[in-house]
Amino acid sequence: MSAPKAQPLREQLLRQIQLTHDWHSFRALSGVLALLERAGAARLPSAIAEALIALRLVRAGFSVEADVPTPNGKSCDFRATRRGESLCVHVKRLLTSVNDTPAIPSRLRSAIVCRRKVRAELWWSPELESSSLARLGRSFNAFLREAAIGESLSVRDAPNIEIGRIRIHRPTTRQMELRVERADRVRTLDRIERLTLRAFDQCMPRSVNVIALVGDHASDWELFDVALHGTFVERWDRVPNQGERRAYGRDDNGLWTRHRAPWCELAVSLTATTSDTNAQLSQGILLTREEDARPDAAIKLARRGLLRSHPH
C-alpha cells in the first residue's frame, strides 16, 4: 500500500482545526497534527489513521481529548464527548499487503453445483489445466454437500502435492458464497488479536470503550469479527431455525467469548484508502460483544461518531 505523504493531510487537518471552535478539540487535533509532522515512515500509517478518526469525530459534533490517561498507567487515544455523553476510542492500525484477488476459473466454479447456504473459501494451483480444474471442482462439490461448518478439505495429486483446498467458514442467509482464500488469513488474524489485546489493556474503567481497527483490506472486518466472537461452528446444544437442519453458533476461542475486557463492548472496523495526496476512511462496520445487541445509548453514540463517511 502506498501511504500518503504527511503534508497534504497536514494541510487538511489545519483547515479543519481552523473551523474547530471547541478548545479541547483544538488542542487534541493540534497534537495529532504535530504527530503527523514528526512521524517517520514506520509510524506514518498509524498517525494518519489517528488523524482521520479525530477528524471524523469532530465533524460528527464531538469534543475531542487526546492521550487521556487511564488508572493502569496506559492511555486511550481519544475521549470524544457530545452532549454530556463520552466514549473512549482506541485506534489500532492493521497493515496488510493488498493483492489483486484472482477470479475463480469458470471450469472450477461450474463444477460446484451445491446450493447449500454457506460461505466457503478455496484455493487452487494456478498450474492446473481445465480438466483438472473440473475434477477439483467435483471434489469440492462433494465436500460441500456433507461437511460441517469449520471443516476443510485438501486435495492432492498422485505425487502428494496439494493442488487445491477449501474450507467452510460460516453459514449465509440466502445462497452459497464462494471466495478465493486470503493468503495472509492466519497471519492477519494473529496480528488482529495482538492489537486487540493491547487495546483491551488501554480501556478506561466504567466508560464506553470502542476499538477502532483501521485496515487496508475490505474483508479485515470479517477477521476482526472472528477474533472477537470466535469461529462459526455447528451447535448441537441449540435448536435450528425454522426450515434448517443445523443450528450454528461460535466456538469459545473469541476474545469477547473468553470474557476479556469487561469495559469494552464495542468495536469498529474501517478501511483506509490512501494515495500520495489523499486519505479517507470507509463508512465502517460496528461490532458488538452481544451479536444481536439492541441499539442502546452507547451504540448510538459510537455509530454517530465513527460510522459516518466523509471525504477528507
Where are the domains positioned within the chain?
6-98+185-306, 106-180
What is the Cα–Cα distance from 293 to 254, expressed in whole angstroms? 17
Query: Considering only CA atoms, which of 199, 264, 215, 273 is closest in space to residue 94?
Result: 215
Q: Please report the DSSP string for 57-124 in residue order.
A: HHHTT-EEEEEEE-TTS-EEEEEEEETTEEEEEEEEE------PPPPPPHHHHHT-----SEEEEEEE
- pLDDT surpassing 80 at residue 153: yes
Who wins on pLDDT, 43 or 155? Answer: 155
CA dist 67 and 75 (Å) reads: 5
Residue 174 pLDDT: 82
* C-alpha 58, offset from chain centre: 23
Q: What percent of the chain has pLDDT over 70?
A: 86
Q: pLDDT per residue over 45-85, tens digit each?
A: 898 899 889 889 988 989 898 899 999 999 999 999 999 99
Q: Quote the pTM value.
A: 0.85
Mark residue 259 as left, alpha or beta (left: phi above 0; alpha: psi -120 to 50; beta: remaining). left
pLDDT of residue 276 exceeding 80, the answer is no
Is the pLDDT score of 104 beyond 90?
Answer: yes
Residue 109: is its pLDDT beyond 80? yes
Q: Are 303 and 286 in contact (CB under 8 A)?
A: yes
Residue 25 in this model has a pLDDT that exceeds 80:
no
Beta bridge partners of 171: 118
Task: Note whether 279 and 50 are within 8 A (CB).
Answer: no
Distance from C-alpha of 102 to C-alpha of 183, rounded to nearest angstrom:
12
pLDDT at 199: 96
Task: Single out the residue of 229, 220, 269, 266 nearest to residue 251, CA to CA.
Answer: 229
- What nine digits make up the cell of 78? 481519544
